[in-house]
Amino acid sequence: MRESEAEFYIDAFVRDVKRYIYAPAIARRAQVAGVPVDPELLDGTNFLTVQAELTGLEFVSQVAGIPMVEFFKKYFPPEYSKHYHSLWQILRHGHVHLFVPKGVIEAGMTITGQDLWLHMDPEEMQARMDAPGGRGELLAQLKAKATHNGVHLDFIPDDKSPKDRYFVVCPQILYYDILGAVKQWRTDRDSNERVKARFQKGVQHVGEMTSWFEPKQRPKLIEELRALGVLPTTGPVVVVSPKVTPGSGGQQTSTWIG
C-alpha cells in the first residue's frame, strides 16, 4: 500500500461519517416536501452504522501507526479514555463478532448498548460543537433534558433490572468527535516529523498485512493453506480477488500454479 492509497481510503471514510450525520436531516426535509423516504433514514442510524465507523477508525489508527487506545487518548475528548473499553467491546467487537451489541460484565453488572439519536439540525450542531466550550455546554443541556441523565458515554440503570446498566452512545456526537480526531491527527502528521514517520511505518505495515495476493507471497500462502487442508495438495489454484487500486472496480482472476 502506498501513502496515496491510504489517503484515498481515509478520505472515503471521512465522507462516509459525514453522510451518516447529514442523511437523516436531508431525509426529514424530503419528507416535509412530500418525497417518499425510507423510515430507517429518519431514525438516523443504528448500532451497525456505529460499528462500521469504529471499524473505519481502526483502519485510520493502523495506517497512522498508533494503537487504538493511544489514538483515543491523544485525539478524542477525555471521557473516551475512561469509557474506551465499553465502547469498543460493546459496539465494535459486539457487532463484528456477534452482529448484536455485546453485553459486558463489569463489577457484577451486565452492561448493554443503547443508542440515542438527536433530531437536531446538523449545521446547528456542528456550529455548537465547534464553538469554544460548545461541546461541553451542548452535552450538559442534553443531559438536563434526558431520561436518567444519559446522553453520550453515560451509564444509566435498566428499569427492569436495577443491577444492570445501559451504556448510552449518541451517534452524532461520536461522528463529530471522529471527524475532529482524524482532522487533528492529519494536522499533526503534516507538521510533525515523528508523527509522519509513524504514518509511513503504519502504511508499510498495513501493506504487508494485505500483500498475500502479491506474487512473492503466493508460494508461502499456498503452502500454508495446503498444510491446513484448505487447498488440494497438488494442482493449480484459482483465486478471484478484488482490485484495491483507488478509482478502479471489478475483479481480477489470478491462477496460481502450485
List the chain pLDDT tens, one digit each, 258 residues.
788 989 999 999 998 888 877 776 676 677 677 777 666 555 555 566 777 788 889 899 999 999 988 999 999 999 898 888 778 777 766 555 554 555 555 555 566 666 676 767 778 888 888 888 988 888 888 888 776 667 888 887 777 777 777 778 888 888 889 999 999 999 999 999 999 999 999 998 888 776 655 666 667 777 777 887 777 777 776 654 444 444 444 444 444 443
Residues 74, 189 contacting (CB under 8 angstroms): no
- Which of 228, 226, 199, 224 has the alpha carbon at shortest distance from 212? 224
Cα separation, 188 vs 182, whole angstroms: 10
- The phi and psi torsions of 55 (rounded to 5 degrees) equal -65, -40
Interior angle at CA 67, CA 51 and CA 63, nearest 5? 80
Q: What is the pTM of this model?
A: 0.71
Q: In what order do the strands lie in the sheet with 161-169?
A: 104-106, 109-115, 161-169, 154-158
Helix 171-191 and helix 47-64: axis angle, to 10°? 10
Cα separation, 80 vs 95, whole angstroms: 19
